[in-house]
């Protein structure tokens, strides 16, 4: 039987599926920095693969299987990246939850996914108390001890850091059309929908950003439960480029953060660009590393932003 990716419209797994892509770059450019974080720590591609494999071994020991939906409820940072990548390394599906969710909208998201396992930050766990958790019955808590929730098996952070990394083989190779993530919509027209995205979908969306280069570094200021955060990160991985992950956008510190991480690319959502443009002009407005930005939506002051800060401005349009 001819492999489906012989169709030129479908890239081979080595070009779009996280596991072989990460393994490939860990072998071909092991010492190149893939990720930087707020505390100044860095992960090379080789180190990233080691961290992801260790985390994947911990998840696999908890019974996570290929094709399984797993909820992730974490702020931007090393844990969010390693858990996301580890799930995809196992062929499991990354299903992040908006950090603002609580009550009925949280119940809705949990019910929609059918997930049994949640990896959550300790500060969020209390919100699980007293709600309908549907199939959810197992909890891994990172970033602290977290509250005990009746009816849920509770695991501390060390469960995702096993001393010995022993991974069982995949049931089958992960394919471009396999489900990579489920990202919830904003819910402006009704309850949030879970958008099912394949590796191929993530890759082709990433490829629309054809101005990006392998020597770029993206400043990740959008949350990793949002498509603006996840797709742009995936684009950098597929290029063998790098990312700098920060907790959130801060207008007053934006250019200092750009310089501190030597970031060349960023996605600006909503009024972020307007806030930056409203700051008092400075002779240092062009003294930064940023060369390109995606602005969503494209605002009237985009040309003024481009002229003032000396960077290229692009936009994207997407539909569920």
Domain count, the chain: 2
CA-based nearest residue to 184, from 176, 194, 174, 173: 194
Q: How far apart are CA 138 and CA 135, in angstroms?
A: 9
Beta strands 153-155 and 179-184, pairing class: unpaired
Residue 7 has pLDDT above 80, yes or no: no
CA-based nearest residue to 147, from 171, 167, 176, 124: 124
- Domain shared by 268 and 242, yes or no: yes
Q: What is the CATH number of the domain that holds 267?
A: 3.40.50.980
- What is the pLDDT, as a whole number, of residue 2? 41
Token pair of 131 as six digits: 């709600």
Question: In this structure, is residue 7 part of a structural domain?
Answer: no
- What is the pLDDT, as a whole number, of residue 213? 96
pTM for the full predicted model: 0.95
- What is the pLDDT, as a whole number, of residue 1? 37
Q: What is the CATH number of the domain that holds 180?
A: 3.40.50.12780
- Domain shared by 63 and 192, yes or no: yes
Average pLDDT over all residues of the chain: 93
- Domain shared by 212 and 276, yes or no: yes
Q: How far apart are CA 10 and CA 300, in angstroms?
A: 37
Q: How far apart are CA 9 and CA 5, in angstroms?
A: 8
- Domain shared by 49 and 159, yes or no: yes
Query: What is the tens place of the pLDDT at every residue in 253-304?
Result: 999 999 999 999 999 987 899 899 888 998 889 999 999 999 998 888 899 9
Listed in sequence order, the residues at least 6 apart from 188 whose beta carbon sits closer than 8 Å to its beta carbon are none
- What is the pLDDT, as a whole number, of residue 188? 77
Instruction: For residue 196, list its beta bridge partners.
Output: 182
What is the enclosing helix (H) or strand (E) of 266? strand 265-269
Q: How far apart are CA 152 and CA 148, in angstroms?
A: 8
CA-based nearest residue to 57, from 24, 90, 28, 33: 90
To the nearest 5 percent, what fractions of the chain are helix, strand and coil?
Answer: 35, 20, 45
Token pair of 97 as six digits: 């939850």
Listed in sequence order, the residues at least 6 apart from 124 whose beta carbon sits closer than 8 Å to its beta carbon are 73, 99
- Domain shared by 194 and 251, yes or no: no
Question: In this structure, is residue 310 part of a structural domain?
Answer: yes
Token pair of 308 as six digits: 């003032």
Listed in sequence order, the residues at least 6 apart from 298 whose beta carbon sits closer than 8 Å to its beta carbon are 313, 315
- Domain shared by 295 and 239, yes or no: yes
Q: How far apart are CA 77 and CA 84, in angstroms?
A: 11
Residue 6 has pLDDT above 60, yes or no: yes
- Domain shared by 187 and 267, yes or no: no
Higher pLDDT pick, 7 / 152? 152
- Domain shared by 116 and 251, yes or no: no
Query: What is the tens place of the pLDDT at every residue in 179-205?
Result: 999 999 987 778 889 999 999 999 998
End-to-end CA gap in the chain: 33
């Amino acid at each position: 039987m001819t492999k489906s990716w012989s169709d030129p419209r479908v890239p081979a797994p080595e070009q779009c599926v996280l596991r072989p892509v990460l393994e490939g770059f860990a072998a071909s450019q092991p010492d190149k920095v893939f990720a930087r974080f707020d505390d100044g720590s860095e992960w090379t591609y080789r180190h990233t693969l080691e961290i992801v494999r260790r985390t994947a071994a911990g998840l696999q020991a908890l019974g996570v299987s290929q094709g399984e939906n797993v909820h992730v409820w974490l702020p931007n940072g090393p844990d969010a990246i390693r858990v996301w990548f580890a799930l995809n390394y196992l062929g499991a599906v990354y299903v992040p939850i908006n950090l603002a969710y609580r009550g009925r909208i949280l119940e809705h998201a949990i019910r929609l996914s059918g997930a049994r396992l949640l990896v959550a930050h300790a500060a969020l766990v209390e919100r699980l108390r007293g709600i309908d958790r549907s199939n959810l019955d197992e909890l891994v808590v990172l970033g602290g001890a977290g509250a005990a929730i009746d009816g849920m098996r509770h695991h501390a952070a060390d469960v995702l850091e096993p001393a010995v990394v022993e991974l069982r083989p995949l049931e089958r190779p992960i394919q471009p059309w396999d489900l990579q993530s489920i990202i919830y919509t904003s819910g402006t027209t009704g309850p949030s929908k879970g958008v099912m995205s394949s590796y191929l979908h993530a890759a082709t969306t990433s490829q629309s950003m054809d101005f990006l280069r392998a020597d770029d570094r993206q400043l990740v200021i959008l949350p990793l439960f949002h498509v603006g955060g996840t797709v742009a990160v995936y684009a950098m991985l597929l290029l063998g480029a790098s990312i700098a992950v920060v907790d959130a956008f801060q207008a007053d510190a934006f250019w200092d953060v750009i310089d501190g991480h030597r970031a060349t690319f960023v996605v600006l959502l909503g009024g972020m660009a307007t806030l930056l443009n409203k700051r008092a002009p400075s002779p240092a407005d062009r003294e930064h590393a940023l060369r390109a930005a995606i602005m969503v939506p494209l605002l009237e002051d985009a040309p003024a932003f481009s002229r003032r800060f000396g960077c290229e401005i692009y936009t994207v349009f997407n539909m569920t």
